[in-house]
């Protein structure tokens, strides 16, 4: 039996809030989310545990959560740090499943607007096993190490607002 290849999210994307209150999942992210969910068009979203943004991934990612919890617990024990497995499990498994159509359009539940400080546009940043979804203003507040993402966001936002690359 062939081992499943890991799904990886890379690159960037940008979406303006559309007339019908929908955002658009960028094509590369859309394909990876579908591949992770064995063809299902379901975006899994949750609040990022540290940053003022959202985290997105496909359904297949949940199968990795127990191993991730074991690894994080082991590292905490090795460091002599506290680890609240129930809290971390709640953060990982507490995601919301959001359907999207063939064009990647999805309706963001109202609570995520507050949790991620989302307004009328979002920026997608690849992050390996998952990706982050940012309010561009929140991303702009981050310091050193975020310059490439900040510049990519500005560039994609300008193109979207000028009608180039926008849907």
Give the total number of structural domains in the chain. Answer: 1
- The boundaries of the domain holding residue 51 are 12-60+96-161
Residue 119 within any structural domain of the chain: yes
3-class state of residue 42 by DSSP: strand
Q: Write phi, then psi, for 65 (nearest 5 degrees).
A: -65, -40
Q: What is the DSSP letter of 107?
A: P
The CATH number of the domain holding residue 55 is: 3.40.1550.20
Cα separation, 167 vs 165, whole angstroms: 7
Could you report the per-residue pLDDT of 59-97, keeping only the tens digit for each?
998 888 899 899 999 999 999 999 999 999 998 888 999
CA atoms within 13 A on the CB side of 95: 22
Burial class (CB in 10 A: 0-12, 13-18, 19+), 124: buried
Residue 144 lies in a domain: yes
Domain for residue 79, yes or no? no
82 in a structural domain = no
Give the closest residue to 117 by CA, choosing from 98, 99, 139: 139
- Can you give the pTM of this predicted structure? 0.87
pLDDT digits (tens, 9 = 90+) for 102-114: 999 999 999 999 9
CA separation for the pair 53, 112 (Å, rounded): 9
Asked whether residue 37 is assigned to any structural domain, the reply reads yes
The Cα 64–Cα 166 span in angstroms is: 34
């Amino acid at each position: 039996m062939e081992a499943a290849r890991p799904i990886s999210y890379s690159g960037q994307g940008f979406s303006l809030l559309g007339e019908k209150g929908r955002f658009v999942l960028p094509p590369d992210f859309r394909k990876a989310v579908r591949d992770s969910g064995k063809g299902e068009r379901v975006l899994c979203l949750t609040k990022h545990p540290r940053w003022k943004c959202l985290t997105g991934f496909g359904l297949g990612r949940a199968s990795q959560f127990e191993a991730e919890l074991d690894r994080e617990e082991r590292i905490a024990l090795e460091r002599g740090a506290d680890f609240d497995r129930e809290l971390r499990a709640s953060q990982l498994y507490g995601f919301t499943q959001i359907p999207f159509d063939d064009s990647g359009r999805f309706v963001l539940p109202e609570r995520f607007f507050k949790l991620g400080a989302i307004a009328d546009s979002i920026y997608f940043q690849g992050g390996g096993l998952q990706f982050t979804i940012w309010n561009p203003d929140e991303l702009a507040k981050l310091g050193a190490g975020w310059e490439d993402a900040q510049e990519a966001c500005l560039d994609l936002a300008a193109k979207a607002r000028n009608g180039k690359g926008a849907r």
